[in-house]
Amino acid sequence: MAKKPSDDQEQDGGKIGGKIATRADDYPQWYQDVIREAELAEPAKVVKGCMVIKPHGYAIWEKIQRDLDARFKATGHRNAYFPVLIPQSFITKEAEHVEGFAPELAVVTHAGGEQLEEPYVVRPTSETIIGYYFGKWISSYRDLPLLVNQWANVMRWEKRTRMFLRTTEFLWQEGHTAHASHEDAKDEVERMLNVYGDFAEQVMAMPVIRGIKTDSEKFAGALTSMCIEAMMQDGKALQAGTSHDLGQNFGRAFDVKFQTEGGGLDYVWQTSWGVSTRLVGGLIMTHSDDAGLVLPPRLAPIHAVIVPIYRKEEEHAAVMEAAERIKAALSEIDISPPRSRYRDFVEVVIDDRPLRPGAKFYEWERRGVPVRIELGPKDLAKGQVCVKMRVDSAAGSGKEFIPEADFIAGFRARLDTFQSELLRLARARMHARMVTIDTWDEFLAAFSGEQSTFAWCHWDGTRETEAAIKEKTKATIRCIPLPGQGPDPEPGTCVFSGKPSRQRVLIAKAY
């Protein structure tokens, strides 16, 4: 495999219309090429480690946002907004938190033409400042649970960046909740993890493993972190969402006390949970192929493209008339989830540019449009359309010729089938690649060079072993699986140390 710089800032955004590397030849280059060719984003370059999210990429993020937002509201959360600047002293109030975030902070030292008495940091996450206001808002058990969420930009000054997966500024949501008991908080942590897991599978068609982070991988300031981990096509893991049990750590740091139902006084139990524009990176690496982007219909900004095909100018009008008729009929189809808070209609583009059909096919494939409709005089004569799906299912592959009315009547079902098919394919890929590894030699072979996979291994539970595995192979413990998410717990011996282990954990290299 060719080695290319994987840091965005070393890459030029490049001109659109270039080649897409194959996954087999150069996976990191393929990823950047897909993003460029689908016009999802480009490295900002003039702002270190940032990216510009272009309209096609942002439209996917908007669809992610509105579906997640509806799920947060259905579970009782309300959105709010807290300042982007946080007094620097706030960050230092929770010992583990400052240790985790201090090296990555961007600091505002001057404002309004003057040096500030106390600098502000641009929020890397908002536990501290939200903790502060929780302290002002909560005084009794009657104020609990307090369930808020914020959609915002955050900044972490990362050294190596990669579009969507790790950028200095990124967009995300951060849920912050306060509860009267640890039990309630733990329930919330698991509830939101499942919201993420369900969203990943139902909407992104991205299978995930739900689990618990080890102590060395947990959020800086949490008691426990739960996560969803997805497998990318190179076998690496992507931490796609996290949900944290903060215990009383921030409650203590910001003195958030409440009168209990029993008349005592206690610190609140808090949680936080978040997903970010990183999900777009996960989406790309889950479904896309060497021809470019592949999108599940529930997140596709455009569902179908109609390419009129004609040789003679006198055929043009009739073909365009049919194209407009089909577009109008498809655009009427409501594809919203039942009783959802948003309404989705089928989005159709007619591509009548003066280009060869082949060039158009190529371009719309790269942009990940699920359904392509070719329409020529012969099809019109037969009352049919020629349909090509962006990814062939095992059942029907290649072009289909379908009567126009049947095609329209079946369009919603066609999208649903395509959505399920992408999930099935992604699941199949993940499971085909999952392995159970019991010996260190096998382990080294599985993770040699740039290779990765999802390996279920016994681990002795120590930080030392975890660090040694990481140092020797770059693979990390992604999570301790929740019940049903991995092999059933059974005792064994650690793949590295040979010491006793209670259950297998998921190990992989990670983004």
| Interface with a second copy (CB under 8 A) | 13, 42, 44, 46-48, 50-55, 58-59, 61-62, 78-87, 90, 102-113, 119-120, 122, 129, 132-133, 136, 148, 152-153, 155, 157, 159, 168-169, 171, 336, 340-343
How far apart are CB 99 and a second copy at their closest, in Å? 13
How far apart are CB 106 and a second copy at their closest, in Å? 4
Whether the Cβ atoms of residue 227 and residue 99 lie closer than 8 Å to each other: no
How far apart are CB 38 and a second copy at their closest, in Å? 14
CA–centroid distance for 58 within its chain: 13
How far apart are CB 419 and a second copy at their closest, in Å? 20
Name which of 229, 216, 130 is nearest 173 in CA terms.
130
Nearer to a second copy, 161 or 243 (CB): 161
How far apart are CB 100 and a second copy at their closest, in Å? 14
CA distances from 406 to 54, 345, 410 (A): 36, 18, 6
Nearer to a second copy, 69 or 201 (CB): 69
- Distance from C-alpha of 449 to C-alpha of 444, rounded to nearest angstrom: 9
Please name the residues in contact with 68: beta carbons below 8 A apart, sequence gap of 6 or more.
173, 195, 199, 275
Whether the Cβ atoms of residue 176 and residue 145 lie closer than 8 Å to each other: no
Q: Which long-range contacts (CB under 8 A, 24 or more apart) does 380-389 make?
A: 380/318, 380/319, 380/322, 385/326, 388/361, 389/414, 389/418
How far apart are CB 507 and a second copy at their closest, in Å? 30
Nearer to a second copy, 54 or 502 (CB): 54
Q: Work out the number of other CB atoms within 10 angstroms of the CB of residue 497.
A: 18
Nearer to a second copy, 348 or 434 (CB): 348
Q: Work out the number of other CB atoms within 10 angstroms of the CB of residue 392.
A: 12
Nearer to a second copy, 334 or 471 (CB): 334
Nearer to a second copy, 303 or 458 (CB): 303
Whether the Cβ atoms of residue 106 and residue 155 lie closer than 8 Å to each other: yes
- Distance from C-alpha of 69 to C-alpha of 65, rounded to nearest angstrom: 6
Nearer to a second copy, 109 or 397 (CB): 109
In the block, tokens 């889950």 appear at 286
> In the numeric block, which tokens belong to residue 24?
């087999």
Residue 456, CB-side half-sphere exposure with 13 Å CA sphere: 19
Alpha carbon dihedral 227, 232, 237, 239, in 10-degree steps, equals: -30
Whether the Cβ atoms of residue 200 and residue 64 lie closer than 8 Å to each other: no
Nearer to a second copy, 254 or 456 (CB): 254
- Distance from C-alpha of 124 to C-alpha of 104, rounded to nearest angstrom: 8
Name which of 79, 423, 125, 158 is nearest 275 in CA terms.
125
How far apart are CB 159 and a second copy at their closest, in Å? 7
How far apart are CB 32 and a second copy at their closest, in Å? 16
SS3 385: strand
SS3 274: strand
- CA angle, 166 then 171 then 175, to 5°: 110
Name which of 142, 163, 167 is nearest 153 in CA terms.
167
Nearer to a second copy, 332 or 490 (CB): 332
Nearer to a second copy, 71 or 504 (CB): 71
Nearer to a second copy, 152 or 309 (CB): 152
How far apart are CB 479 and a second copy at their closest, in Å? 28
How far apart are CB 431 and a second copy at their closest, in Å? 35
How far apart are CB 285 and a second copy at their closest, in Å? 20
Whether the Cβ atoms of residue 124 and residue 134 lie closer than 8 Å to each other: no
Nearer to a second copy, 103 or 500 (CB): 103
How far apart are CB 283 and a second copy at their closest, in Å? 17
- Distance from C-alpha of 212 to C-alpha of 24, rounded to nearest angstrom: 32
- Distance from C-alpha of 134 to C-alpha of 143, rounded to nearest angstrom: 10
